[in-house]
Amino acid sequence: MAKRVFNFNPGPAILPLEVLQIIKEEIPDYRGTGMSVFEISHRSTDYEEINNSAMALMRKIMGLGENYKVLFVGGGASLQFAMLPMNFLGEGRTAAYVDTGSWSNKAIKEAKLFGNVVVAASSKEANYRFIPKFSEFKYSSDVSYLHITSNNTIFGTQYQEIPDTGKVPLVCDMSSDILSRRRDFGKFSLIYAGAQKNLGPAGVTVVIIRDDLLEKCRSGLPTMLSYQTHAKELSLYNTPPVFAVYVVRLVLQWIEKQGGLEAVEKTNRAKKDQIYGLMDKHPEFFKGTVNADSRSWMNITLRLPSEELEKKFLAEAKAAGFIGLKGHRSVGGIRVSLYNALTLEGATKLAEFMEGFRKAN
């Protein structure tokens, strides 16, 4: 048996052990081909099967119809910050963005290169400790789209409800909470997510786009930067990141096998309740940094009474096999990332460790 730690890394992050074991099995000889997935043509029927079934499974798990195209693109979620406005903005056009932290800001910065940006709402003044209420968003109904970041990996906030934007296309950076709970995915015109938290290894970004928005892509873009290219070519315009897509397919099968998003949500709810439950019992020791109604299920951010105690906590946690709990360098403190592959046992054991640390200190 491999020695595994409790992995709370914020991303790249933990993958299901079951998936890692399948990969290990299949590397020398992928299903009787005598080759690994990295060694076969992306135009082969074997890869085509991986590609098509990953797309179909993604739609099935999200409850989406054929009017949504699933694309596998390189360049990370950061390329999507630029590709999105490149495809849908242009001179005289405006997009609305909700500013809920560092990643929203990076998205806004890129959008400004291609058109006008209005910030529909922001929690910056409050150190990003909450998700602004939809009823307070300010944007006009003729914007090209409204962009939100469903989960804020660094600040530890998450939308509990998805806004209903009517005719205005809703676009979402779902990098750090995709497939972690049930959502009405049909509310979105476009969703993008880097794979390296809930879906697989870094190297592929999943883009899910509805046909009515896809039709509106600007023409005259570099071929690789147009969503229409990837949609038309079923993500096989050029050599795709085959290994990453292969692992995404295995992760989707793992989700499906558990019972889909209902089952995943149930486990994730129990996991976050372990940690927030303890924080609520001892708020003087475990100081949450966000408002209760905006708490992320994926990244729990907190401070201890002093920086010395935080250092001590991180060192003792590491020695006890709990890895990756240091807060982002821009905010400090502790961050507990509870992505899908982290088990309920992992969250429970960490809560026990935290309580032991509190009592000893």
Using CB under 6 A, list all residues that contact ligand PMP: 11, 76-78, 103, 149, 153, 173, 175-176, 194
Both tokens of residue 332? 């400090």
Pick 192 or 353: Cβ nearer ligand PMP = 192
173 φ/ψ angles, rounded to the nearest 5 degrees: -85, 105
CA distances from 318 to 139, 278, 302, 321, 353 (A): 46, 20, 17, 5, 11
Question: Which of 63, 34, 38 is closest to 50 using CA atoms?
Answer: 38
Both tokens of residue 53? 């079934």
Instruction: Concatenate the DSSP letters of all residues of 176-227 into one string.
Output: TTTTSS---GGG-SEEEEETTTTTSSTT-EEEEEEHHHHTTPPSSS-GGG-H
- Taking the complex as a whole, the smallest distance from the CB of residue 22 to ligand PMP amounts, in Å, to 24
Whether the ω angle into residue 201 lies within 30 degrees of 0, i.e. cis, is no
- Taking the complex as a whole, the smallest distance from the CB of residue 30 to ligand PMP amounts, in Å, to 26
Pick 11 or 285: Cβ nearer ligand PMP = 11
Pick 304 or 336: Cβ nearer ligand PMP = 336
Active-site residue, from 69, 173, 254, 272? 173
At 119 the three-state DSSP class reads: strand
- Taking the complex as a whole, the smallest distance from the CB of residue 176 to ligand PMP amounts, in Å, to 4
Q: Which residues contact 44 (CB under 8 A, 6 or more apart)?
A: none
Pick 208 or 354: Cβ nearer ligand PMP = 208
What whole-number distance in Å separates Cα of residue 313 and Cα of residue 99? Answer: 32
- Taking the complex as a whole, the smallest distance from the CB of residue 318 to ligand PMP amounts, in Å, to 21
- Taking the complex as a whole, the smallest distance from the CB of residue 77 to ligand PMP amounts, in Å, to 3
**Strands 170-173 and 190-194, bridge-based pairing:** parallel
Active-site residue, from 69, 99, 103, 271? 103
- 69 as an active site residue: the answer is no
- 103 as an active site residue: the answer is yes
At 158 the three-state DSSP class reads: strand
Pick 76 or 186: Cβ nearer ligand PMP = 76
At 340 the three-state DSSP class reads: coil
Pick 227 or 357: Cβ nearer ligand PMP = 227
Rg (CA), the chain: 21
- Taking the complex as a whole, the smallest distance from the CB of residue 155 to ligand PMP amounts, in Å, to 10
How many other CB atoms are there within 10 angstroms of residue 341's CB atom? Answer: 19
- 273 as an active site residue: the answer is no
Active-site residue, from 197, 271, 272, 326? 197
Whether the ω angle into residue 283 lies within 30 degrees of 0, i.e. cis, is no
Enzyme catalytic residues: 103, 173, 197
